[in-house]
Amino acid sequence: MLDNEILAAVKAGMKGELDSVTVYEDAAAASTGEVKRFFQERAAAEKEHFNYLLGYYKTRTINLTPERDAAAELGGGWRSAIVGEAFLKQVASSRHLMAAVTAALHLEADAVRLYRDWSARAEAPALKGLLDLLVEWEERHYADLLVMQEELERSYFDVNRFEPF
């Protein structure tokens, strides 16, 4: 990839990360307790991604020196949320939060595709490593949200008293 393509890719990635932050922060504002903390943690993780990409963009030249360790800068702080029955009931009882989970799933899937595509085109090993790390993070977010959405479906039908036709 040429530098101008890399900068365009980083800029697009930053927009995607901000979109994710917005969805997660809105969901956190509409929730309480464990659910609020879950969405706040996701917003914080997406902010880390954004800030990392912003650091690349601000330099106007991609810092691909070996001393910059993407894994060390991004890794270590992420953990899966423990989703309990009370958590599921709170999310399932809110159409807004259910929509936030669905929107977040789409944003995470888009991020995985985007970073994977850029990684396949990247020539610099450090940039490829960064993009592969972002793919891994977004895949974990996506997998967690997918499991949550599957578990929420049952709670959603229970909370809203849907019965088979």
Domain assignment of residue 164, yes or no: no
Domain assignment of residue 112, yes or no: yes
Domain assignment of residue 96, yes or no: yes
Instruction: Please report where in the chains the tokens 């970073």 appear, as a residue.
Output: 115
The tens digit of pLDDT for each residue in 59-111 reads 755 554 444 455 555 554 433 445 677 777 788 788 888 888 889 899 899 98
Report the C-alpha gap between 36 and 56 in whole angstroms.
31
The tens digit of pLDDT for each residue in 20-72 reads 899 899 999 999 998 899 899 989 988 988 888 888 777 755 554 444 455 55
Residue 146 has pLDDT above 50, yes or no: yes
Residue 73, class by beta-carbon neighbours within 10 Å (0-12 exposed, 13-18 middle, 19+ buried)? middle
Residue 126, class by beta-carbon neighbours within 10 Å (0-12 exposed, 13-18 middle, 19+ buried)? middle
Domain assignment of residue 163, yes or no: no
Show Cβ contacts of residue 51 under 8 Å, excluding neighbours closer than 6 positions.
none
Domain assignment of residue 10, yes or no: yes
Report the C-alpha gap between 111 and 17 in whole angstroms.
8
Domain assignment of residue 123, yes or no: yes
Domain assignment of residue 125, yes or no: yes
Q: Which amino acid is at 20?
A: S
Tally of domains in the chain: 1
**Residue 23 contacts residue 100 (beta carbons within 8 Å):** yes
**Residue 118 contacts residue 99 (beta carbons within 8 Å):** no
Boundaries of domain holding 99:
3-157
Domain assignment of residue 162, yes or no: no
CATH number at residue 10: 1.20.1260.10
